[in-house]
Structure 1
Amino acid sequence: MRCVLITGGTGCIGAATVHALLQLGAERVVVASRSASVGLLRLWFRETLDPRIGLVRGDVGDARDVERLVRDADPTHVIHLGALQTPDCESDHARGMAVNVGGTLHLLDACVAHAKRLARFVFASSAAVYGLRARYPGPVVRESDPLAPVNLYGTWKLASEELVRLSHERHGVDAISLRLNTTYGKGRDRGKTAGVTRAMKAIALGSARGAVIPHRMAYGGRENYHYVEDVGAAFARAALMPFTGHAAFNLRGTTIPVADFLARIADVAGSLGLTRSVDLGIAPDAPVNPFVCDLDEARIVEAFPGMPRTPIDDGIRATLETFVAMAKAGELRLDPV
């Protein structure tokens, strides 16, 4: 029986990953989070949770907690998503390192000690391990390009990638790190790069209220986007599909200007009869996004040929339709949940 232990499994990407794991036939998914609450899983499992899901409380920053989680779950596969985001890492350096690096180390150590059936370890890394986009003169950024993170979050993601590699070399468990950029879609509420998702929320809420809720992006330039359902599918496939060895992969995505993404939102909203609720733009003083984009996807497509990449217009349409239904039911809000 395949049992997947997933940390951070009630957040945006975690909830999508749990859904995708069950679609791929995982017999048991143990979802660990600090609250052990349903969280954003409700967006994917509306009425009742699938009986194959088990919710457990655990803090990856606490070594004893992690040891208990792994011992009790006895997983065949582990997906490590649990981490603090950039603002939290910058506001509390010690806590950020304890969770984002220490948590990875705790989990790897616990797997060596207690997960005797473990076949695969998948780590949620980030394109933040790369440097600024200007550092890479080519049309795409490859996994083999130099890594030069520009903030603590990226530095700690890179440190965790190295811990995953070292654990693989010492103990032989197949291991994958997935590097992703900006996720959009239902459940994506937190962080600066949630702006395009919040733009779609503003349209849906405005339509439900018969009003216009303006939305202005805090930055412009170009950005690499992943639809949330694709991200969940990528982690599930990286965990369960055939693979041997160790690798770090860029996640499949699409790079376009932020302004173009907003224009596509407006076009799709118009096709859904929501034009009167559209007021989108980029703030006049918004800086240009300097961070890496144009991630090359050749290696992950070769390793996992079925990795999805939803066209942006289709992802926008699905997200808007979900948000409109939620707004009509009184279940949508602009503030993070």
Structure 2
Amino acid sequence: MHFITASYSNSYASMLAVCLQSIVDNVQKNNITVYWQDTDDDIICALQQLWPYISFVKTAYDISGSSCKKIPMKMQLWTEAIEKAWNDSLCFIDNDTVICQTPESLLRDSDVIFTDKDEQFQINTGVVLVNPSKTTIAFFQDWMQETMRIVRDERLLQQAVSPINPYGAADQMALHRLLGYKKEKKIYSYHTTCGEVRLIAVPCSQYNQTNSVPLSPDIWIYHYKGGWRDILFYGRHSPYRPACECWPMQILYLNIYRKVLRAMRAHNVAEDTIKKFCIYTPHYYDMRHGKLRRFKLWKRLCSDKIKSFLAPMNFTTVL
């Protein structure tokens, strides 16, 4: 299986590094490609020093505009990548993921695998698996064209990102529409000019876990999306991602991040460059020794529970 991810900003350098480290540690060293642009050269050079066997491909896409328009532009990248690959199955992943097991076996009975969940935003395209062929290339071309149609139409784009609709992003809305997606349906057939494409939806809870959950060997891929960025970059939790739910996945992430930093220093990467790979370290994690400070974590969790208990109460004094 060939893993493909992308980075289009300095701000996600640390996430990219953690993602790559997880693939190298848990799956494979070869057959990994990173498409990148708008990222400092010293960041890419540092990653190449760590993993000279990973392919880094510089791109020049027009990705200006809001994040609502930038995020679904990955469809252009995916379509280009699948047109180049004929000898191996592909795993397209967002760079805010941690991969614990290879999902290659899922493709035995299908051409395309995507993940879904019984939540407001039903499809998540952070993990997509493909068996390259003429039919899957044609499908991805259709998916890209529908995504671009949504991105270029402000009314449709607002529908795609509206919290009252089941999409969450333009590329997810496009896939939803192409398939006539229904949450109770898991097997789809899509007709292209080159033939039929068989698609299967597999659960996010196992293959693209987007929530804050305890660690489990049954979870193959963790996806640190949405509110996780505030936690990992700034240490800011929210009512939707409280510390009491997040700390196991946070410690997993910090352990991988610590390994990246140690490897960079072992390869004599400049400290000014290392500083660009920034992840917030909470007081209950000992970065030097890679250990959890359990008492400090317990104090933090107790504090969060007290705050959540008091929050609904009204302390307005009645005169």
Whether these two folds match at TM > 0.5 is no
User: TM-score by structure 1 length?
Assistant: 0.37
User: TM-score by structure 2 length?
Assistant: 0.38
